[in-house]
Structure 1
Amino acid sequence: MRRKSYFLFYFLLMSVLLVGCGGKDLTYEGATDNWEVKYHINENKENKDDIGMQDVDIQYIGEDSPTTLTFSYVSPTGGSCELYLDLDENGKTSHSPGCLDEKRPDYKDDSFKVSIVWGEHEEKIELKRVN
């Protein structure tokens, strides 16, 4: 009986610790005629002011894939970032960490806009929350 009590206590303790450790994963996706973008954010549960780990996956789906691009984001509060990225032979690139260095004013936003510039072209892409 005592052994079962220890096991039950240990199981409950580990369950509470595991649930409390992780953050919420957010995924945003968007596409145009030329690009598909997936932006992943792992919200930091311990510090709500920290946006947490993030990465961005970009795929060129148009004709004649470029070799480089500039990915940028401007927040409503004036913060911004730019990433200069190389595409592989399949028109794909991934980057971690991502580009957001501050929380959006309402982190429950269902979407935000990014920009991709390649050569003489620029497209604005709305990334919508999918989870």
Structure 2
Amino acid sequence: MIQGTFGSKGQLFFEIDLITYDGLNLPVDAMFDTGFTGFMVINKQDLDSLNWAYMGNEPLINAQREIIFDRYSGKVLLDEQEYEIPVYAGDEIIEVLLGSEWLKILPLVVNYQVDILTLG
């Protein structure tokens, strides 16, 4: 289980590691976005250092509309567990986002009153 933090506007943040093609771990803060239906979305520029394999493109639904994203096969580390997941990339993404697909395999606990935010 990983502990998260609350942003100033109520955002949900978790520190995860992106694992490069060469096996290096790069820690990043990722915002949890329940309106995004995939596992993770990232800015295309951030992919340069990761060297993840390109898998084509695919439409995904976010909170507003369906968008076509480039899809990569990526590896992330959450709570000392490595996951190989489809990662979506777009030009206009400003933060690494974790999506609602994680909720199919990991429980999310959020309690603002007692400052509890966990995933896993």
* Structure with greater strand percent: 2
TM over 0.5: no
Of the two structures, which has the highest relative contact order with CA contacts closer than 8 Å and spacing of 6 or more?
A: 2
Q: TM-score, normalised by structure 1?
A: 0.27
Could you tell me the TM-score, scaled by structure 2's length?
0.29
